[in-house]
Structure 1
């Protein structure tokens, strides 16, 4: 595993040096955040920088305080947040709400025996799911006692947040005192060719012939919020140096896009002392097997140089002569000039930056050295979303460390119970082993997005609810959901051709077992459905009801139910027809007498009818000339 050293040691005491308002205002409006880790309230520092109370952190950690706060002049350096792996898991993160873009990130790490264990912790730090910093115990004494600043430039490509994560080694608790993040120009530091694929980790950013300056430490502005460290700790002390300044003269060409290098950087410089043949050399600590982007900053601030050819020198990086510089020839006097070069695959732990005189004495205003750390492959976005949904539905405890990217960085298996492999479009989840974790949630159907899942073991928990259809992944080989509290029927999607083990025993499932699932056992696989009193329809289980299947009506039952409703509807229509439609104008009485069952009542009814008929005939005869009348005929 690649180990990156502690970077940019800036003693906290240096922050007391005076200086102006930070060009970045902390807040969501401009996607800039200054977080006082462990701090309980917002405040504004003596340099005008607004700091936010601790937020955006994953659960399981705790706030703390350095042992000797009086040694730390800035409030954000006194408080801290630590993440014990026993409660926070291997991985703990700050999820910063950042849209896609490039950002400058600065982290202040301090120990100062806050936990009274007299032992600095070992842990790693990632940004953009890429391992960028490593802290190993024991820390250098100045860093352990006063703290250390580390910074980098990283691309954020995920939404709605980007994670800065801390990975515990053994039982050590990662610790962080402050996090600062601010956007940078998308084309800065050769962003057109490297910005989307690299993290630039600062291995030294120095101002030559000057003292430390930058937002948060002095009132000198820097549009990227960079801090420039004094160069004295990086010089080859076997050589002599002289410092020179611009003497108040205006510097042209500084603070320009896309890098916005500050004017103050070019107002001072170092040159050689003593013999004119002396060289300037800086020894920059680096990590082997990485490539480095070196930026050199020049300005001809000596009024005695007024023409090309009066100051010429060679630049040697890692022992190789890479270019010849004539500042006045390039840009003239009192004008900023930048030059960059990439040193590839260093095999040494020290990068030598040497300026060798050709004509006159060499001069240098500033130096930057960035490790070019390739972005690591991330988890396929759809599977990240599925895992976050599972984290919520399964109620994953904080101690399991389900924070950040499920699979990256590859050096860490930070998500407990999760196994990943490299896929065609990114890292993919192939195994979830969460048995006996005390889970009490349910399985979301978002699990269907884990298209490469081979093994799922959720046994011996207290999971409830129904089994989602998304469990029927074609890739699934082993499924163990035994000893939970699942209810409902078994989805017909479960039982792919690859599934060899299906353990659903000791739940509360019911309904008919899908034939494709039961066929696993028939074809030599392992299936256990015992302990589910409601299951039916396969050998060793009770037969299902005639019209019942999979916890509901089967096809036959639905047909029978439909036929029954149709018959009832037909009967109702017939009755309505008889009562309403067939009733004629001469039908006066359809009401049956209450004493209809009485013989005497029937006889009386008949007698009344006969009398009524005789009266009617008599009346008809009275109106007929011959005494006869036939219906439809003529009198005769």
Structure 2
């Protein structure tokens, strides 16, 4: 025993750990029957005494289906219905839970030919932005139950189904169970269940309410071992709370004099494995009897020497560091020592592999904000708005752009809700997106005032509120000041609010021009751009052709222009291009009855940009008439 310090393992002994067993209730349980309707329905499943409810309040997508009636007698009620996700690549369940709490998360999948297509569905499961496992259904009556033990790093959890091929993801039930803090600790990441066995000649599984944590224990027996049992109570109240029904049975080898081996294979040969063995002596040993054995693995590596189980009291043995195998095969051997008169014994075994659930996520305050925005405006029908808003980047929500700093949470930097059927007032939750630089709420049915709080968003550079006929276009002073300082561009209706002369009112939108930002904002009306073209050396005295006209955001020019850089096809001029060509309206060429004319450059040609002034005594129709006159050869 002096060599124990050489072995990276721990023993959890029932009588050395004093902790009352939790009452057998379902506090903290989340038990979802996926596809159960109506959504208010709950029921008590007779064989487990677990209360199930509909999943409708945890996801806002998917279709309800029922398995083939012929299969219902084979499975429990939570598997009779399914929720499938034919639309979108990623569909998620959302939970508000307790940060730093350990949860057992289990999905159950029973195809049952619910769609009548006789398919073999295949898809992935994700925890947040990281892959948990793949689900592959072969036969329509197969039941697949992947399970993961995961410590929450924030108070939100998303469990997502991700389409990976042509078949449709679906789920039968989804269950979350809180676990005792400090149990099942991985060196890094989370633990994916490979197997959980106990020795029994029966074929019945054990779960709640015999297991207060609702772990599923599968009976196992083989030709090389036999099962023994006791009617006496076994003390099981260590950190793991292995149920009495599991610990009252044990496997022993049929040939006591020969080494007894347990072998399993893990497909992923690079995976790190975690093994938990539960022992208790359940036989009354006579004075001249003893049970002592050595445990080795993979070719004689000593895992624990001279081990003696405690009488009617659980000992849980596990390694502090994960085990590895170059070929994925793990062979544990139990062999009597020379001091032993009885063969080795094992009551139960759990095998896990580690998986890194990467901490890719959006800032939690911004997640709360965008979720509130989603709820406020009823955006649940947006197919891509599932799971984490920014992570992974492949599944980023439609209409969002995000930043991805190396060591920090992602942040939302632009939000485009153009033509999203928004109604009501502009929600203050937008202010919680503190890194937002562009906001597009155009072409909706928003009403009320333009809120002054938008001026406080220091990162905000552009706001598009056009196409909201019910919106009061009076601009708050604080927002006008941002515009005047050129730190913000504000688009209202067919209008872009630019800096206002000091003597003029700050609350009236002034200038009309076309705008399109990053290909996102709606195209507005370009009222006046005409080209002033420098002729070639040999044609300097040649009379120039008529200037191009601009209508509905499309530049049109006559084919007789002497400058080859002037296009003869329709071209859309975006607002950022106008800002660039005029160097942010830097150089004034002159002023006329309609407004100011600015110098600019476009495609190596000099241009003049004429904008209708708010103070012009002449109106929009007259302005267009003058523009049309110029196209017919008239003068300006």
Instruction: Give the structure-1-normalised TM-score.
Output: 0.65
State the Cα distance separating 1:368 from its structure 2 match. Answer: 0.9
Residue of 217, 226, 247 corresponding to 1:228: 217
1:590 equivalent in structure 2: none
Residue of 377, 380, 392 corresponding to 2:375: 392
1:32 equivalent in structure 2: 29
Question: For the Cα contact (< 8 Å) 1:442–1:464, is it kept in 2?
Answer: yes
2:191 equivalent in structure 1: 200
Distance 1:526 1:132 in 2: 54
Distance 2:238 2:402 in 1: 41
Distance 2:119 2:351 in 1: 31
1:42 equivalent in structure 2: 42
Deviation sequence 1:151-201 (CA, Å, 0-9, x none):
233334655x644333334664432222233322223224xx87xx74332
CA 1:537–1:183 in structure 2 vs 1: closer, same or farther (change >3 Å)? farther
Matched, 1:215 2:213: no
Q: How does 1:34-73 map to 2 (within 5 A)?
A: 34-40=31-37, 41-47=41-47, 49-55=49-55, 56-67=57-68, 68-73=70-75
Distance 1:465 1:348 in 2: 66
State the Cα distance separating 1:488 from its structure 2 match. Answer: 1.9
Question: For the Cα contact (< 8 Å) 1:83–1:92, is it kept in 2?
Answer: no
State the Cα distance separating 1:76 from its structure 2 match. Answer: 1.5
Question: For the Cα contact (< 8 Å) 1:418–1:429, is it kept in 2?
Answer: yes
Distance 2:195 2:474 in 1: 63
2:138 equivalent in structure 1: 140
Distance 1:420 1:305 in 2: 71
Deviation sequence 1:104-135 (CA, Å, 0-9, x none):
33321111110112223333334466532322
CA-based RMSD of the aligned residues comes to 4.2
CA 1:387–1:313 in structure 2 vs 1: closer, same or farther (change >3 Å)? same
Matched, 1:115 2:82: no
Distance 1:278 1:200 in 2: 30
Any unmatched runs of 5+ in structure 1? 1-21, 528-535, 546-636
Greater shift, 422-431 or 70-79, is seen at: 422-431
1:524 equivalent in structure 2: 583
Residue of 232, 235, 241 corresponding to 1:250: 232
2:263 equivalent in structure 1: 282
2:145 equivalent in structure 1: 149
State the Cα distance separating 1:398 from its structure 2 match. Answer: 1.8
1:591 equivalent in structure 2: none
1:3 equivalent in structure 2: none
CA 1:369–1:417 in structure 2 vs 1: closer, same or farther (change >3 Å)? farther
Deviation sequence 1:246-272 (CA, Å, 0-9, x none):
3x2535431x14221122222223333
Question: For the Cα contact (< 8 Å) 1:483–1:507, is it kept in 2?
Answer: no
Going by fraction, where is helix more abundant, 1 or 2? 1
Classify the secondary structure of the residue corresponding to 1:488: coil
Question: For the Cα contact (< 8 Å) 1:202–1:370, is it kept in 2?
Answer: yes
State the Cα distance separating 1:54 from its structure 2 match. Answer: 0.8
1:370 equivalent in structure 2: 352
Deviation sequence 1:557-607 (CA, Å, 0-9, x none):
xxxxxxxxxxxxxxxxxxxxxxxxxxxxxxxxxxxxxxxxxxxxxxxxxxx
Question: For the Cα contact (< 8 Å) 1:383–1:429, is it kept in 2?
Answer: yes
Matched, 1:447 2:439: no
Distance 1:50 1:456 in 2: 47
Distance 2:86 2:107 in 1: 19
Matched, 1:90 2:82: no
1:19 equivalent in structure 2: none
Matched, 1:261 2:232: no
CA 1:478–1:542 in structure 2 vs 1: closer, same or farther (change >3 Å)? closer
Aligned residue-pair number:
486
Distance 1:371 1:178 in 2: 23
Greater shift, 354-363 or 58-67, is seen at: 354-363
CA 1:226–1:157 in structure 2 vs 1: closer, same or farther (change >3 Å)? same
Distance 1:391 1:526 in 2: 38
Classify the secondary structure of the residue corresponding to 2:369: helix
Distance 1:324 1:183 in 2: 31
Q: How does 1:285-434 map to 2 (within 5 A)?
A: 285=266, 287-301=268-282, 303=284, 310-316=291-297, 321-328=301-308, 331-342=309-320, 344=322, 346=324, 350-357=328-335, 359=337, 361-377=343-359, 378-408=361-391, 410=392, 413=395, 415-423=397-405, 424-434=407-417
Classify the secondary structure of the residue corresponding to 1:165: strand
Distance 1:497 1:244 in 2: 83
Deviation sequence 1:62-120 (CA, Å, 0-9, x none):
3211013434342112122223326xx73231536668633333321111110112223
CA 1:63–1:434 in structure 2 vs 1: closer, same or farther (change >3 Å)? same
Question: For the Cα contact (< 8 Å) 1:37–1:176, is it kept in 2?
Answer: yes
Distance 2:462 2:43 in 1: 54
Deviation sequence 1:344-368 (CA, Å, 0-9, x none):
4857573514124252644322211
2:180 equivalent in structure 1: 185
Matched, 1:488 2:489: no
